[in-house]
């Protein structure tokens, strides 16, 4: 068995992770799963945690997207208002 770090304790801990932390952990899990070094049970556990991390990252991105605003500039170059940004 490899000496890779074990998945963190409980799913609740994922909620406390920043987007960057969750993404970094997800990348490690993907790399280990792709390597084929982990035993079956560990692979299943990592896959399940990876799915929770992915959902967490998607939720963080959705929240960030809602916070992004477009600054509308008036004819004189001054900011006149902000509008929700559109992502198409």
Q: What is the pLDDT of residue 87?
A: 66
- And the tokens for 79? 């900011």
Q: What is the CATH number of the domain that holds 58?
A: 1.10.287
pLDDT band with cut points at 50, 70 and 90 for residue 3: very low
Q: What is the pLDDT of residue 11?
A: 67
Contact call for residues 17 and 56 (beta carbons, < 8 A):
yes
**Alpha-carbon Rg for the chain in angstroms:** 19
Residue (of 20, 8, 16, 12) closest to 45 by Cα position = 8
Instruction: Provide the residue range defining the domain that includes 70.
Output: 11-84
- Looking at every residue in the chain, the average pLDDT score rounds to 83
pLDDT band with cut points at 50, 70 and 90 for residue 88: low
- Position 50 in a domain: yes
- And the tokens for 63? 């929240």
Total domains in the fold of the chain: 1
pLDDT in tens, 43-71: 999 999 999 999 999 999 988 877 776 67
């Amino acid at each position: 068995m490899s000496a890779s770090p074990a998945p963190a304790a409980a799913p609740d801990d994922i909620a406390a992770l920043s987007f960057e932390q969750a993404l970094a952990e997800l990348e490690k899990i993907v790399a280990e799963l792709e390597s084929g070094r982990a035993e079956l049970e560990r692979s299943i556990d990592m896959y399940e945690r990876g799915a929770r991390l992915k959902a967490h990252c998607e939720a963080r991105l959705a929240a960030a997207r809602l916070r992004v605003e477009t600054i509308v500039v008036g004819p004189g170059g001054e900011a006149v208002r902000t509008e929700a940004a559109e992502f198409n």
